[in-house]
A and B are shown apart, each in its own frame.
Chain A
């Protein structure tokens, strides 16, 4: 049988005196503080690492998502294009059905846009942002690279289009996330060639 009736712990006066009497020694406090600081340092560094990685991953995900969506749209239009006009070396206009579709890169804003013109009404959509470098690749029916020195001549023989670009996203306290995109060579299937 156990009885606690007379236990001195349960007496407030005794408790006060005991608590006052007991305590940590300096060594205990130092060891405790040291261990705590290590634990806190680990926890904080993990937290910071996760936060920074998360921010970076978000940048990568956003860029990847934009790039894939853009390429899908670009591929759809290019495959159906019956004609191509080179406006500049970074801007092309495709004729897709009854629409004129212009894909252009603007270096000042770092944007890649798609402008659709149907019956005189133009609708522009920004597909990609944060682009630091952009190049169109043009190829003829045989897969030979087409020189863009003469845009008129290039339009006559361009049968395949390719996009190569690099985009960057920067967040505070995080190094810039860079995404390099190299598309497939999309064939202008409805564009008649000489044969």
Chain B
């Protein structure tokens, strides 16, 4: 049996022995304490080190997911934008498929987005006035990312939309704009200043003309816009190089000296997205190629629900004969070679005063002879340019060839992103032309109709304001919309 009483005795004896000058035993204890202190210091340092490293990792991860949440918010915007533009293109059936609509508003949650490290995300989208019929069309998105640990990250974005007119500038080309005449000019006026089609239009005249004529080319090439000796009373823009101006030419407001450009009206950042256009899908009367004097609409035909008469024909081919438009006519020409060829000494496209003509052509368009008579032979009494609309639907590598001329005055708009346009004549040319390249032959006086900037129709929507909601007040104002 082991007796411990003597062991205690022995310890006390040892203690007494130490107190009598036995340093070796004492040093054993101090070494232990020093080792413990060192271990503690190293441990604390190591823990701090690891904590710092962890903090850095957390900061990096949250910054990464913060960026991801912005991307997610914009994904919601893209989805809504797709639906809106699908609707604007006339496909309202699939445009809002999958969305929950209530009154004038629509909402949807896009979920199931997974990131690394068990992080998930979803985005809620609320569309106010989704049909765009009343009030402002607006998207509000709320993207939420839930990381594996830590607080949830959110981004709130609100954007306001507006229709983008294809005709917000006078002469627009993907490639080049060239003025060949020595006395050509560009200016502007507004045929519908109150933006009310029921009130009489304001015809162009010297008393209402403005120096807001605008020409622009997407091209970054030198020589994309060759003004030469034309007077551009307004703005000139290119995608890169400055316009070329001759000694008698100018770009700027009224009063600009010949041979100069007002640099506040010249820019080199022009960029226009010229989306392809397609013919309307509304049921149309199918008629034979027009090769003789013809009047549209025909007497027995009925208009569609929008009040327009729709026709589909292979082509128009008239020599010394006339195509007369007496009401609202939409004509789709299916030939991909020559869609319109009006010539001879007296061939003419005659649009009665008050009538409108909308033409979708996939092939070449050549209107010579007497040219286009749009309401009158002088600019002061002609129909508004939007009464005569040409849309080029061709997409082939070979450009469509557009050659048009007016009968005294040419008043029309052309949107043909894949066409080379040649404007002939020395008279007044009013409207807006958006094509691949433009050559102005002769000394035409071009007048851009500023009211065309409001011509929405089925144009795509664009974002007019983009705002990130960062304050609690701004988020609280829309949180009720995004709590589904």
Identify the A interface with B (CB < 8 A): 1-5, 7, 9-12, 15-16, 19, 23, 43, 46-47, 50-51, 53-54, 57-58, 60-61, 64-65, 68, 72, 76, 79-80, 97, 140-142, 144, 153, 156-157, 159, 189-190, 193-195
Contact = CB atoms under 8 A, between A and B. Distances in A.
Contact of A195 (B10, B20, B24, B270): B270
A157 B268 contact: yes
B220 A194 contact: no
A47 B269 contact: no
Given A79-B468, A80-B468, A194-B269, A57 B42 contact: no
Interface in B281-305: none
B1 A2 contact: yes
B222 interface: no
10 contacts: A4-B7, A10-B7, A12-B17, A43-B38, A58-B52, A61-B52, A156-B267, A157-B269, A195-B237, A195-B272
Interface in B169-193: 169
Nearest to B66: A72
A57 B269 contact: no
Contact of A72 (B2, B48, B49, B63): B63
Contact of A50 (B45, B168, B220): B45
B55 A76 contact: no
B64 to A, nearest CB: 10
A2 B2 contact: yes
B100 interface: no
A64 B56 contact: yes
A15 B270 contact: no
A190 B60 contact: no
A54 B48 contact: yes
A189 B73 CA distance: 15
Contacts of B270: 193-195
Interface stretch (B119-127, B382-390, B459-467): B459-467
A36 B335 CA distance: 99
A9 B10 contact: yes
Interface string B31-75: 000000010011001101100110110011001001000000000
A142 B269 contact: yes
Nearest to B272: A195
Contacts of A53: 49
A169 B470 CA distance: 31
Nearest to B9: A10
A141 B271 contact: yes
Contacts of B2: 2, 4
B56 A57 contact: yes
B216 to A, nearest CB: 6
A19 B22 contact: yes
